Amino acid sequence: MFSTDDTIVAIATPPGRGGIGVVRISGPDAAPIASRLTRRDSAFEPRRATLTTVRSIDAASIDRAVVTFFPSPHSYTGDDVIEISAHGSPVVLAAIQRAAMQAGARLAEPGEFTLRAYLNGRIDLVQAEAVAELIDAVTPLQARAAFDQLDGTLTARLRAIDDPLMDLIARLEASLDFPDEGYHFITPDEAAASLARIATSLDDLLVDAARGRMIREGCTAVVVGRPNVGKSTLFNRLAGAERAIVTDVPGTTRDLLTERVDIDGIPFTLVDTAGLREAASDPIEEEGIARARQAHAVAEVAVVLLDRSQPLTADDRHLLELTATTRRVVVASKSDLNAAWDPALLGCDALELSAVTGEGCAALGRALVRAVDAEPLRDRAAVANARHRALLERARESVERARAAAAGGASEEFLLADLHEARAAFDEVTGARTPDDVLRTIFERFCIGK
């Protein structure tokens, strides 16, 4: 998988019909293979689109296409790259790919083009992983987080922590190299202070990492309330489709309904639940209520719905008590009807909302984003990758051990052992030192052609 000596080919555009489809060829024989497919005697001019006829090995015409040559090292992969932009018929693209393979290329593995870009030093591993995350993004905020990572913003934040760490290691190593001469390039107090600053920077990054996970993986928001308070109507309004059955009969919803929605850039999984009440009408509703309680227990945030058009009940008050210590957004629903109580009397903040008219739904979305503490992510790049987060936590532990050792007056050897561990974790994040099995796991989840 890690050989870069051969030439690879793949269709780089998604399966299906389209106006244009791209076949990408990368490797030392990319240009000769393209010349053979187009029957050209002269070389392709670098970065100049050339309209030509692409033919099979037996000289049969396949398509009129635009061929662009990107010579090494100024290409996506760092190797010579040919991109053939043809009509977006799966049959045509498959024929071009097959012809390139007959001319000497082999079919690329998933992610192999980006892997070559990483191995050739065009991008670091953080940026390589961002390529897959940008392709997989389903919300604008996910795309922005992935692009920040691809653009090197996250790498810059990591470097801002790694540089002082490297400087500290160099000074400790220098002190260790001249023990007999009595040279000390840094005192234990200075080392402890420097490590405290590095630890603080890592803490900031890890706080953002928890929020970054929400952007990448999303959050679960469970809609809870007693029967007939408007849970299913609100669920349908937020989902943008009539997913849940809405009737005047209490207890209509018996099972959990889920829908993935984009709320202000954060992917939320909405969960509609059975109405919570002490006395269930039958065993099926009782099981639905049990599942609703389980869903609330594992959700990141609860939308607690109270019917403002009806007097508050014991079930309403019990639900407010049950959710008082959890992340929640309290909603006074059915604000389009005459009010039976004042939300100010609840003793907590409550949004007034009408799922029928949509009034208040935008405010609910903003409140959900605030409840999961995701808003600050809009201002800076955050760690959104679980692998990065685990490595940074490992680095943070190593730095803390070194700081405690420095504060205790330990010798340079003890500090350096922990600091080298921290730097090894940083190197594994960016790919400066990463085991082959980790690389294989990262790149095999890419799509073929990227």
Tens digit of pLDDT for each residue in 353-363? 888 888 888 88
Q: Which residues are paired to 67 by β-bridges?
A: 50, 84
For residue 287, is it within any domain?
A: yes
Instruction: Read off the DSSP letter of residue 138.
Output: -
**Claim to verify: residue 40 and residue 177 sit in the same structural domain:** no
Looking at the structure of the chain, the number of domains it has is 2
Report whether pLDDT(182) > 50: no
Query: Which of the pair, 312 or 257, is modelled with greater confidence?
Result: 312
Task: Give the model confidence (pLDDT) of 214-264 as tens digits.
Answer: 777 778 888 888 887 877 888 888 877 665 555 454 555 545 677 888 887
Q: Helix or strand or coil: residue 120? A: coil
189: its two tokens: 């107090």
**Claim to verify: residue 262 and residue 148 sit in the same structural domain:** yes
**What integer pLDDT is reported at residue 31 of this predicted model?**
94
Q: Which residues are paired to 22 by β-bridges?
A: 85
What separation, in Å, do the N-terminal and C-terminal C-alpha atoms of the chain show?
A: 14
**Claim to verify: residue 341 and residue 281 sit in the same structural domain:** yes
Ranges assigned E (strand) in 104-241:
106-107, 219-224
For residue 448, is it within any domain?
A: no
Q: Shortest CA distance to 65 belongs to which of 110, 4, 24, 5?
A: 24
What is the residue-wise DSSP string for 287-302? Answer: HHHHHHHHHHHH-SEE
Write down the pTM of the prediction. Answer: 0.71
Query: pLDDT-derived band of residue 440, with 50, 70 and 90 as boundaries?
Result: confident
Can you tell me the mean pLDDT for 84-100?
95
**Claim to verify: residue 54 and residue 150 sit in the same structural domain:** no
Rounded distance, CA 114 to CA 112, Å? Answer: 5
Rounded distance, CA 448 to CA 132, Å? Answer: 11
Look at phi and psi of residue 431 and say left if phi exceeds 0, alpha if psi is from -120 to 50, else beta: left
**What integer pLDDT is reported at residue 81 of this predicted model?**
96
- Which CATH number covers residue 304? 3.40.50.300
Task: Report the largest interatomic distance among the alpha carbons of the chain, rounded to a whole angstrom.
Answer: 88
Rounded distance, CA 223 to CA 244, Å? Answer: 12
**Claim to verify: residue 164 and residue 25 sit in the same structural domain:** no
For residue 440, is it within any domain?
A: no
Instruction: Report, in this order, helix, strand and coil percent for the chain, each rounded to 5.
Output: 45, 15, 35
Q: Give yes or no for a contact between 23 and 96, defined as CB atoms under 8 angstroms apart.
A: yes
**Claim to verify: residue 168 and residue 95 sit in the same structural domain:** no
**Claim to verify: residue 271 and residue 150 sit in the same structural domain:** yes
Residue type, 427: D
Domain that holds residue 95: 8-124
Q: Give yes or no for a contact between 113 and 26, defined as CB atoms under 8 angstroms apart.
A: yes
Q: Give yes or no for a contact between 274 and 286, defined as CB atoms under 8 angstroms apart.
A: no
The domain boundary, picked from 98, 124, 150, lies at 124
**Claim to verify: residue 241 and residue 378 sit in the same structural domain:** yes
**Claim to verify: residue 143 and residue 106 sit in the same structural domain:** no
**Claim to verify: residue 115 and residue 149 sit in the same structural domain:** no
